[in-house]
Amino acid sequence: QVQLVESGGGLVQAGGSLRLSCAHSGRTFSTTAMGWFRQAPGKERQFVAAIYWNGASTRYADSVKGRFTISRDNTKNTVYLQMNSLTAEDTAVYYCAATTYSPGYYRDEYDYWGQGTQVTVSS
């Protein structure tokens, strides 16, 4: 059973940066595509970014392109989300997710989920 544990969330001022981490407990991390989603209060969980198993390709939501960067370290079983130029609209609970298939844009395409980490951006 795969467990995903996010960390790195917190309170930051608008314009600031945070780096989220997601630790993957299983032995299949190096062959698993990973994604980040977020859910703001009263809204649906939405796609943020995704990365292929070898890091060769990434995908981003339009709202975060140029500001967020997803990366991974297969030696540490960890995926990261570097978030820069944060705005109040980025306030949400951020979830990482894992899939054995190509990293898609939809929740149903992911098999495992973390518990989430809160990111709050003050304006």
Query: What are the tens digits of pLDDT across the range 75-106?
Result: 999 999 999 999 999 999 999 999 988 888 99
pLDDT at position 27 is 85
Distance CA 24, CA 28 (A): 9
Question: Could you give the CA distance from residue 5 to residue 78 in angstroms, rounded to a whole number?
Answer: 9
Between CA 9 and CA 26 the distance in angstroms is 23
pLDDT in tens, 41-79: 999 999 999 999 988 899 999 999 999 999 999 999 999
